[in-house]
Amino acid sequence: MNQLIKTIIGKPEKWLIEAAANIGLDLVGFAHEITNYFVNHGLKKHGNEAEERARGQLPVTLADISRIPDIIKNPDAAIIGINRYDIPLIAYSKKIDDGTLLYLEEVLNGKRNKALRSKTIYKKMGSISNETFFKIIGNNAKTDMSKTKMVVGAGGHPGG
């Protein structure tokens, strides 16, 4: 049986805490974390070149996963307040040399674990607009985007 291994990769930035508070989501005291399950999922489900190219995407690599601390600190855009299957999510978009990384975190608000836990990552070809980013994240019948807030970076720093 595989044991869940969690690694804390930082605290939420001030811009994220403030933007979340504007829509009633309190992220004070939370930490960003990635898990071994997430890394395995990202590479297994989104790392196959032939399958990803057939989807119009690029394969995710360990190098892409290692960029997550920068993605959450300095995204080009973030969508806060997504609700999928009654689980709050935060999505980040970051343009890199060979495409655009989309990274999603679950907001876990338990008594013993207040975490922004890695959910999934995938890589789109080229650059995507903020409008396309919003459409991609909302492209699921079980995704409620009605109470979201998009924060767009100014020079890579959302919120200004």
pLDDT tens digit string along 113-151?
899 999 999 999 999 999 999 999 998 888 888 888 888
Dump pLDDT digits (tens) for 25-68. Answer: 999 999 999 999 999 888 888 988 899 999 889 999 999 999 99
Rounded Cα distance between 95 and 35, Å, is: 23
Q: Where along the chain do its domains lie?
A: 6-154
**pTM of structure:** 0.91
Amino acid at 123: K
Q: CA-CA distance, 126 to 149, in Å (whole number)? A: 24
Q: What is the pLDDT of residue 100?
A: 96
Residue indicated by tokens 């999928």: 84
3 state SS for the chain: CCCCCEEEEECCCHHHHHHHHHCCCCCCCCEEEEEHHHHHHHHHHHCCHHHHHHCCEECCCHHHHCCHHHHHHCCCEEEEEEEECCEEEEEEEEEECCEEEEEEEEEEECCCCEEEEEEEEEEECCCCCHHHHHHHHCCCCCEECCCCEEEEEECCEECC
- Name the least confident of 1-10, 57-66, 68-77, 94-103: 1-10
Instruction: Find out whether 57 and 139 touch, Cβ atoms under 8 Å.
Output: no
